[in-house]
């Protein structure tokens, strides 16, 4: 692990992404708190699902807007990009790199579940396949999906060393557990994705919890999305 505690104390804070925003007030609160990325889930199976048209009406300030896609077709994805005014598409399903080409260069966040792979070599092969197509990787807990509250093993993050791609970490993150992780994380870990760890119920964000996330990393300004 890389030790950030010996780095310049004025370094920018990590990027913060609040995902699963289903209510306009929550999106606005997250934006006002200074979140860098705001995520909207479009999968019909999700408890946090919003329609692209509905998400498009949410006020989000200067935060980057991310649409989370699971089984949608490339055509549905492109339509949602327009309706929801998306800056990024997050592939959380079985999408191929061909879908990433359609979405456009530099606009893809690819979710990866390290537990799916039998060994580091298989995981590294997957990462290499996507490195030229993704702007960021998002490493999540479990075998699929997200927002289930299952915590990623914060003591076993060696997979971050398999790529130099800028990456987010997700999976049961809270204001409390990331505070210990950030100082010793690999350099390519540039952000954290919060969902169930800042909720009172699925799709209902706790503004006080989101504020504690932002306070955890101080008020040094945004990292560069």
What string of DSSP letters covers 59-102? --TTSEEEEEESS--HHHHHHHHHHTT-SEEEE-SS--HHHHHH
Q: Distance between CA atoms of 155 and 138, rounded to whole angstroms?
A: 17
Domain boundaries defined on the chain = 4-8+16-216
Place of tokens 């606005």: 28
Which range in 36-40, 42-46, 93-97, 166-170 is most confidently predicted, on average pLDDT? 36-40
pLDDT in tens, 85-101: 999 999 998 899 999 99
Give me the helix-helix angle, 24-33 and 207-216, nearest 10°.
20
Containing H/E element for 200? strand 199-201
Phi, psi of 124 (to 5 degrees): -60, -35
Exposed, middle or buried by CB within 10 Å (0-12, 13-18, 19+), for 64? middle
Q: Distance between CA atoms of 141 and 221, rounded to whole angstroms?
A: 28
| Phi-psi sector, 132: left (phi>0), alpha (psi -120 to 50), beta | alpha
What proportion of the chain, given as a percentage, has pLDDT over 70? 84
**pLDDT beyond 90 at 79:** yes
- C-alpha distances in angstroms, 30 versus 49, 76, 187? 18, 27, 25
pLDDT in tens, 127-184: 999 999 999 999 987 555 554 556 666 666 778 878 889 999 998 899 888 887 777 6
Give me the architecture of the 4-8+16-216 domain, per CATH: Alpha-Beta Barrel (3.20)
DSSP state of 49: B
């Amino acid at each position: 692990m890389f030790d950030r505690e010996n780095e310049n104390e004025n370094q920018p804070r990590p990027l913060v992404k609040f995902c699963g925003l289903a209510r306009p007030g929550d999106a606005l609160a997250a934006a006002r708190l200074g979140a860098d990325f705001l995520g909207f889930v479009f999968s019909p199976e999700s408890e946090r699902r919003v329609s692209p048209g509905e998400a498009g009406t949410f006020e989000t300030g200067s935060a980057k807007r991310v649409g989370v896609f699971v089984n949608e077709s490339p055509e549905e994805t492109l339509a949602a990009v327009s309706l929801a005014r998306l800056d990024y598409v997050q592939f959380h399903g079985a999408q191929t790199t061909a879908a990433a080409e359609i979405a456009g260069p530099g606009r893809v966040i690819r979710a990866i579940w390290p537990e799916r792979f039998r060994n580091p070599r298989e995981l590294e092969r997957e990462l290499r396949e996507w490195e030229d197509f993704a702007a960021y990787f998002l490493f999540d807990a479990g075998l699929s999906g997200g927002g289930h509250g299952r915590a990623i093993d914060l003591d076993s993050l060696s997979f971050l060393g398999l790529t130099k791609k800028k990456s987010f970490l997700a999976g049961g993150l809270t204001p409390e557990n990331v505070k210990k992780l950030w100082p010793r994380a690999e350099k390519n870990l540039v952000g954290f994705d919060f969902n169930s760890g800042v909720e009172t119920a699925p799709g209902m964000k706790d503004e006080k919890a989101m504020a504690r996330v932002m306070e955890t990393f101080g008020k040094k300004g945004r990292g560069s999305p």
